[in-house]
């Protein structure tokens, strides 16, 4: 593996993620935050499988501003640490696996950038090279927009390798979509749905928060 490549896990605070994306049908904040903690655990484990240095956005000073500004700052910080290539991933694509990461790593040696398109017009993975990275253009892309992928291809003057298109998750319906396709999501649903059925929708936040912080919960299956 190329030691000059780093994996950048770009995630927001669990509370912020949980407030923006509702992954439970009952809108319970405690349960929603629990799901995002598990998604963060999964992507951290997955990144560790490919044998490259891992940088987490929480370890960096991203400054203020928009999502695009913070992501750009995170990439620049990685370059300043001495890495020549950075592969950015988030926590919201359960279909992302080790094979996709390995493909991105190999491809970034041959191409200026690598993109993993999602079904919403965004990207679940972005790989960039320091040599061709234009921070000003990158920051101004249409982030968190259905036109994001097109804006990258139209405004970033690099030759990009395109990975397979995968589905991400932004709602409970998206989570259910993965039920029979992904063992990790099946684990989550099998764990939380019996609890939801026994707890009223109006249950206080602290009850579910306390339950889902319990150490008695089974570990999720191995990531692949």
Domain boundaries, the chain: 5-21+42-162
**pLDDT greater than 50 at residue 206:** no
Side by side, the strands of the sheet bearing 54-56 are 54-56, 5-9, 85-89, 123-129, 113-117, 160-162
The pLDDT of residue 79: 96
The pLDDT of residue 154: 92
Give 65 or 114, the one with higher predicted confidence: 114
The pLDDT of residue 144: 87
**pLDDT greater than 50 at residue 205:** no
pLDDT band at 35 (very low <50, low <70, confident <90, very high): confident
> How far apart are the C-alpha atoms of 75 and 127, rounded to whole Å?
10
**pLDDT greater than 90 at residue 147:** yes
- Encode pLDDT of 114-141 as tens digits: 999 998 899 999 999 999 999 999 999 9
The pLDDT of residue 216: 43
The pLDDT of residue 167: 85
> How far apart are the C-alpha atoms of 51 and 63, rounded to whole Å?
29
**pLDDT greater than 80 at residue 162:** yes
Query: What is the reported pTM?
Result: 0.80
The pLDDT of residue 106: 96
Per-residue pLDDT, averaged over 38-49, amounts to 91
Planar angle of CA 142, 168, 164, nearest 5 degrees? 85
Place of tokens 């249409």: 142
The pLDDT of residue 168: 83
Per-residue pLDDT, averaged over 149-171, amounts to 89
**pLDDT greater than 90 at residue 63:** no
For residue 57, what are the CA distances in angstroms to 45, 67, 106, 114?
Answer: 15, 12, 23, 20
For domain 5-21+42-162, is the CATH number 3.50.30.50? no
φ, ψ for residue 159, nearest 5 deg: -90, 120
């Amino acid at each position: 593996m190329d030691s000059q490549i780093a994996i950048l896990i770009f995630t927001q605070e669990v509370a912020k993620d949980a407030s923006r994306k509702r992954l439970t049908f009952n809108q319970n904040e405690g349960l929603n935050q629990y799901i995002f903690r598990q998604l963060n655990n999964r992507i951290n484990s997955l990144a560790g499988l490919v044998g490259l240095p891992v940088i987490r956005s929480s370890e960096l000073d991203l400054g203020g501003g928009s999502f695009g500004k913070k992501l750009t700052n995170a990439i620049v910080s990685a370059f300043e640490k001495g890495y020549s290539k950075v592969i950015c991933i988030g926590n919201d694509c359960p279909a992302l696996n080790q094979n996709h990461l390995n493909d991105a790593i190999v491809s970034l040696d041959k191409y200026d950038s690598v993109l993993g398109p999602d079904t919403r017009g965004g990207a679940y993975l972005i790989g960039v090279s320091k040599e061709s990275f234009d921070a000003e253009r990158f920051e101004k892309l249409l982030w968190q927009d259905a036109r994001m992928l097109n804006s990258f291809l139209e405004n970033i003057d690099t030759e990009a390798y395109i990975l397979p298109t995968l589905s991400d998750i932004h709602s409970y319906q998206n989570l259910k979509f993965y039920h029979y396709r992904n063992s990790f999501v099946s684990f989550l649903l099998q764990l939380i749905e019996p609890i939801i059925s026994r707890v009223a929708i109006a249950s206080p936040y602290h009850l579910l928060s306390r339950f889902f912080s319990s150490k008695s919960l089974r570990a999720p299956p191995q990531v692949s």
